[in-house]
């Protein structure tokens, strides 16, 4: 295991630094926007702008890499992403922040794509699983590390934006100095919704639903916590608890899905996440008893929300994979990622509109509604279509939602072709 990680250690280190900066910005910007009295709609628009940029980065990033190469692309995108936090601190204006978030989303999609394509190039059929597992640990640990920084630096000071910028700049160093051979050019991504719907309507709706709910949470979750009286360290703790919940339940739910119809696990995930959302809405809006509205009880609600809302996407991908031909997996998984991004672009604005009328707790009324509708749809499909036989099913793997290239890192991708280039979405 150790030997398989040595060749990609520089890439994993770069990704860790990027994700610390990403986790820091994801929580910092809504907190600071709230302190600046930006409206919920303005903050929601920033979240939507980020995911619009992310989608554009997934589609256009491969063209940039083919034109100038992996290292130059990484350097250009990291430099641009590094400048964005500084401009956030200098220009305190909602429209400018939304534009900066769109640029940041584009940059991060391209940065993830470069690193993941490099990891794919260095991975073999025997090391791919270990690299993916390590990558997921790095992902979750770094995101939580970003929350820790917020707890120690005043979000009203320039210093915290400078720290975010420094992190993104430092991430350039390991990739720029790597002696690894650059991987093959990245192929373009195209979304074929018709084919995805033919294969698995549950997968399509689940990806959209996770995007709608989780994209809204990442955008407005810090504002919700602040609205419940959490200070800045408390808000960072709330976000960390949600991430921790998702991390702890990811593998148990995934392995449970290997032993039964995966749709039951998808159904349970959306159902419990819906109940957690309902609880947080009622607690946050003052409709529960005093003890049920304490900070500890809200943290507990956040833990259960994260534990079931975050892992459901990977189980839905596994369900989709069970119904695919071997050479279609990466194509479809990449398509689901774009559907997730589309949902994440729409969700924050819709949730923000509700928050404008009903208060910030309406964020979780929105996530609850999304989860309940999805539960009804999954039940409907389960009544119409029989489960896939165990003889045709693959093994669950947790693929991060960072770029389409992450799908190629999945060990199951080796079943259908021999090289990462052959996994490209047509």
Give one word for 105, left, alpha or beta, with left for phi > 0 and alpha for psi -120 to 50.
alpha
Q: Tell me, what's the pLDDT at 290? A: 60
Q: Which two tokens stand for residue 302?
A: 């956040």
Residues for the chain: how many in total?
426
Cα angle 59, 112, 70 (rounded to 5 degrees) comes to 80
- For the chain, what is the radius of gyration of the CA atoms? 20
Give one word for 286, left, alpha or beta, with left for phi > 0 and alpha for psi -120 to 50.
left
- Asked if 123 and 412 touch (Cβ cutoff 8 Å), the reply is no
- Asked if 281 and 372 touch (Cβ cutoff 8 Å), the reply is no
d(CA 243, CA 266): 19
Q: Any residues with CB less than 8 A from the CB of 230 and at least 6 apart, and which?
A: 237, 238, 295
pLDDT in tens, the chain (426 residues): 556 566 677 888 888 999 999 999 999 999 999 999 999 999 999 999 999 999 999 888 888 888 888 888 999 999 999 999 999 999 999 999 999 999 999 999 999 888 888 877 777 767 766 777 777 788 888 888 999 898 888 999 999 999 999 999 998 888 888 776 677 777 766 667 888 888 889 999 999 999 999 999 999 999 999 999 999 999 999 999 999 999 899 888 888 888 888 899 999 999 999 999 999 999 998 877 665 668 999 999 999 999 999 989 888 888 887 887 666 667 777 788 889 999 999 999 999 999 999 999 999 999 999 999 999 999 999 988 777 766 566 676 677 777 777 776 666 655 544 333 333 333
Q: Any residues with CB less than 8 A from the CB of 386 and at least 6 apart, and which?
A: none
d(CA 142, CA 153): 17
CATH superfamily of 2-416: MFS general substrate transporter like domains (1.20.1250.20)
d(CA 37, CA 85): 19
Handedness of CA 145, 166, 114, 338 (dihedral sign): positive
- Asked if 357 and 226 touch (Cβ cutoff 8 Å), the reply is no
Residue with tokens 């394509």: 117
- Asked if 183 and 117 touch (Cβ cutoff 8 Å), the reply is yes
- Rounded to 10 degrees, the C-alpha dihedral 198/345/108/2 comes to -50
List phi, psi (to 5°) of 165: -65, -45
d(CA 323, CA 301): 34
Is the pTM here over 0.85, yes or no? Answer: yes
User: Which helix (H) or strand (E) covers residue 133, if one does?
Assistant: helix 128-150
Q: Tell me, what's the pLDDT at 372? A: 97
Q: Tell me, what's the pLDDT at 391? A: 58
């Amino acid at each position: 295991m150790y030997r398989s990680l040595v060749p990609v250690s520089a890439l994993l280190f770069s990704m860790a630094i990027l994700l610390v900066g990403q986790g820091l910005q994801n929580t910092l910007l809504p907190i600071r926007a709230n302190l600046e009295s930006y409206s919920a709609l303005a903050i929601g628009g920033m979240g939507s702008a980020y995911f619009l940029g992310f989608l554009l980065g997934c589609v256009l990033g491969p063209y940039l890499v083919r034109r100038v190469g992996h290292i130059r692309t990484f350097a250009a995108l990291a430099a641009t992403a590094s400048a964005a936090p500084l401009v956030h601190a200098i220009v305190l204006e909602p429209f400018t922040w939304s534009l900066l978030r769109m640029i940041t989303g584009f940059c991060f999609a391209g940065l993830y794509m470069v690193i993941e394509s490099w990891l794919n190039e260095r991975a073999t059929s025997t090391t791919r699983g270990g690299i993916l597992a390590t990558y997921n640990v790095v992902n979750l640990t770094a995101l939580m590390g970003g929350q820790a920084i917020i707890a120690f630096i005043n979000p009203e000071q320039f210093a915290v934006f400078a720290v975010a910028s420094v992190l993104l700049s430092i991430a350039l160093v390991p990739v720029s100095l790597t002696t690894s051979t650059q991987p093959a050019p990245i192929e373009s991504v195209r979304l074929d919704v018709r084919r995805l719907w033919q294969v698995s309507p549950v997968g399509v709706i689940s990806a959209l639903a996770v995007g709608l709910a989780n994209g809204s949470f990442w955008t407005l979750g810090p504002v919700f916590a602040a609205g419940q009286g959490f200070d800045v360290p408390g808000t960072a703790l709330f976000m960390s608890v949600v991430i921790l919940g998702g991390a702890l339940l990811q593998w148990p739910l995934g392995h449970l899905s290997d032993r039964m119809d995966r749709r039951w696990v998808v159904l349970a995930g959306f159902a419990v996440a819906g109940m957690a959302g309902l609880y947080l809405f009622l607690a946050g809006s003052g409709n529960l008893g005093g003890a049920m509205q304490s900070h500890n009880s809200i943290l507990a609600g956040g833990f259960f929300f994260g534990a079931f809302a975050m892992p459901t996407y990977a189980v839905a991908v596994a369900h989709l994979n069970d119904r695919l031909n071997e050479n279609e997996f990466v194509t479809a998984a990449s398509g689901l990622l774009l559907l997730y991004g589309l949902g994440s672009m729409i969700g924050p604005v819709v949730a923000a509109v509700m928050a404008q009328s009903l208060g910030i707790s309406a964020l979780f009324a929105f996530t609850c509604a999304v989860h309940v509708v999805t539960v009804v749809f999954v039940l409907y499909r389960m009544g119409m279509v029989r489960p896939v036989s165990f003889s045709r099913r693959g093994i669950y793997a947790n693929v991060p939602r960072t770029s389409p290239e992450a799908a190629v890192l999945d060990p199951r991708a080796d079943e259908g072709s021999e090289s990462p280039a052959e996994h490209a979405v047509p």
